[in-house]
Structure 1
Amino acid sequence: MESDRPRPIGRGAKVRTAVHAATLAELVDKGYAALSVENVAQRAGVHKTTVYRRWKDRESLLTDALTEHVATDIPIPDTGAIETDLRALARSLVQSFTSPAGQAILAAMFTGAAHLPEIASARRHVFHDRLTRATPVVTRAVERGELPSGTDPAELLKTLAAPIYLRLLITAEPIDEETADRTVRITLAAARSGALRPPQTP
């Protein structure tokens, strides 16, 4: 008689990848409320003790899986020019968050259980990681002389993302590559005017 226990799939990076994929699949299929370490482990083909050795609870597992997914699904470009870098970044953002996985991630982070402290913490971690990873896009542009010295990378990246998230989360307007390209034009105009420098201390 075959055992009902999951078969081991290996260790290290392979386990992490499988568990991350299973976490997102559970999130897409069942939502955050039904997300459990046991179901993730079963879907990933590992024992739940294997999961608990790496993540202390479902919140830390979800945070890690979301951070890794966003980092992978929205890679940081280096095209050699700020306009094409920002266009690639904005288009990837649109493509990622209009996919089924992206919609499930947005639902987990901004609706339903979004008021829970652990979800708020996961959201802050994911977006902080995102800004940190994308900062070189702006600093390289400043070094090349494409943007004014002192341009604040975080402010520029927030300016880029804000119109996209407004449509995704507030107005429910359709978004596409033209939406992404328009946000790039607006962001670059603001940055080149010096509006995205930190405020001067009197």
Structure 2
Amino acid sequence: MTESEALRRPGGRSARVRDAVHQAVLETVIELGVGKVGIPEVSRRAAVRDSSIYRRWGTRENLLVDALLGASEHALRVPDTGSLRGDLSAFASDLIDYLNTPLGDGLVRTLASIPDSEDTRSARDEFWTSRLRTLMPILTRASERGEVPPDVDGRILIELVIAPIHFRHLLTREPTDPALVSVLVDTAIRAAQTTAHGRPEDR
């Protein structure tokens, strides 16, 4: 079997190469920062030829996005606290903690700064679609408990909570603390209840 064939296989050596390269990217981000990640350094750490990395990922940006998105999929749990407010608060708090790690910070800065190519756009869209789909049970449980109407727009509700956190982390550098989490969650829940069936006092 040729190296090219091995790299295309979903398991076996292909999986080992992907894991080794991803691990090398993550180690470099943690030790040196996302700006220092380069294919030659990743090649050295992973013991994989840089030509193989270029053939599979094409660019440094594609490699960064693939590795960081893959790592983030396992970094944020989907809480089940028994209430919508508790679930959203727990998730928001975990997100804040993650963004304050080298990997979390590296991910959002990479996504915010990389050129918008077909590959990076596809990877980004796939990640957010998957992330939002993973979080939907929070809204399903909340609807079953009567905390929000069944026709609530789950994506908008989640975005109302997480968007200000990303905004502060990336742009304003203002504090992201429990007080902020409480305000965001309460505001998002009120908005969901209001927009689904009109103003609460009209119901």
Deviations 1:129-165 (A, max 9, x none): 3222212221222133221120011111111112212
The alignment's TM-score, normalised by the length of structure 2, stands at 0.74
Question: 2:69 matched to which residue of 1?
Answer: 67
Question: 1:161 matched to which residue of 2?
Answer: 162
The separation in 2 between residues aligned to 1:157 and 1:134, in whole angstroms, is 8
1:191-202 equivalences in 2 (<5 Å) = 191-193=192-194, 195=195
The separation in 2 between residues aligned to 1:196 and 1:27, in whole angstroms, is 42
Structure 1 pair 50–88 and aligned structure 2 pair: CA distance change class (3 A): farther
Q: Out of 83, 90, 109, which is 1:81 matched to? A: 83
1:118-129 equivalences in 2 (<5 Å) = 118=117, 121=121, 122-129=123-130
| Letter of the 2:163 counterpart | A
Q: Out of 12, 31, 34, which is 1:31 matched to? A: 34
CA RMSD of aligned residues (A): 2.9
Aligned length: 183
1:128-167 equivalences in 2 (<5 Å) = 128-167=129-168
- Maintained 8 Å contact 1:71/1:130: yes
Any idea what SS the aligned residue of 1:134 has? Answer: helix
Any idea what SS the aligned residue of 1:107 has? Answer: helix
The separation in 1 between residues aligned to 2:169 and 2:33, in whole angstroms, is 21
Identity rate of aligned residues, in percent?
34
- The structure with more helix, counted as a fraction of residues: 2
Structure 1 pair 175–104 and aligned structure 2 pair: CA distance change class (3 A): same
Unaligned runs of 5+ in 2: 1-11, 198-203
Bigger relative contact order (CA 8 A; separation at least 6): 1
Q: Out of 5, 12, 20, which is 2:22 matched to? A: 20
| Letter of the 1:73 counterpart | A
The separation in 2 between residues aligned to 1:167 and 1:138, in whole angstroms, is 25
Structure 1 pair 109–47 and aligned structure 2 pair: CA distance change class (3 A): same
The separation in 2 between residues aligned to 1:15 and 1:115, in whole angstroms, is 24
1:71-110 equivalences in 2 (<5 Å) = 71-110=73-112
The separation in 1 between residues aligned to 2:99 and 2:50, in whole angstroms, is 29
| Larger CA deviation: 54-63 vs 167-176 | 54-63
The alignment's TM-score, normalised by the length of structure 1, stands at 0.74
Unaligned runs of 5+ in 1: 1-9, 198-202
| Letter of the 1:21 counterpart | Q
